[in-house]
Amino acid sequence: MGDAAGARICAPTPSNPSGSPGASSSDRSRVALPERGWRAVSQQPHWYRSWVWRGGRRSDVVTARGVAVEALADWRLEAMADDVELCVSELVTNALVHARCPGVPSAVPVVSLGLRYFPASCVLVEVSDCDPCPPLLPAPGPEGEPPDTLELLGGRGLLIVRDLADSTWWQRELGGGKSVCASLATSRYLDSGESGDD
């Protein structure tokens, strides 16, 4: 894939605008992840692995982590396994715990995991659910200080993902719901002579 396309998908996350659309006006202690359209970039040549499941069992997170580790091994990207596995774990947990399907209060959440490897560029972790609301991060404290410990109880996983990944964002899905994405540049993990399974 071209360098320009790779640069777009792995570009650093833009700053969060205050009062992001979709965030609850009653929750002033949270800010939404930035929303970004990336479908055109996802059409670039890449390797892809996906998994879909229904339910909220602890074993679902273990399964998701296993899918990620297996995919990275197939792509010869074992050096990225720890960080990608943690991003997968946090995003899938977040979807299973917080996703609510509009109009179906008791619906069992359907969550999908997508892993995309853009050779010589990045690995993209993509977790989708039926809830159209943006994922929320704790708002920073005064003058950029870390949020209060109590505020971290909601959104802590997203903070971990944001710190691990080079870029994090979300996107509304055409059929409803959303996808939360994190991209990790392969250059941070591979020697200059390595490129994974390309």
pLDDT digit string, tens, across residues 12-23: 554 443 334 444
pLDDT the model gives residue 152: 39
- For residues 55 and 69, give the distance between their C-alpha atoms in angstroms, rounded to a whole number: 21
pLDDT value at residue 174 = 84
What residue ranges do the domains of the chain occupy?
Answer: 32-188
Do the Cβ atoms of 122 and 59 come closer than 8 Å?
A: no
CB atoms within 10 A of CB 75: 19
Q: How many CB atoms lie within 10 A of CB 162?
A: 17
Using one digit for the tens of pLDDT, what is the confidence trace for 64-73?
999 999 999 9
pLDDT digits (tens, 9 = 90+) for 140-175: 655 555 544 434 345 678 999 999 999 999 999 888
Please tell me the least confidently modeled range out of 90-104, 115-129, 136-150.
136-150
- 32-188 adopts what CATH topology? Heat Shock Protein 90 (3.30.565)
Mean pLDDT of the chain: 77
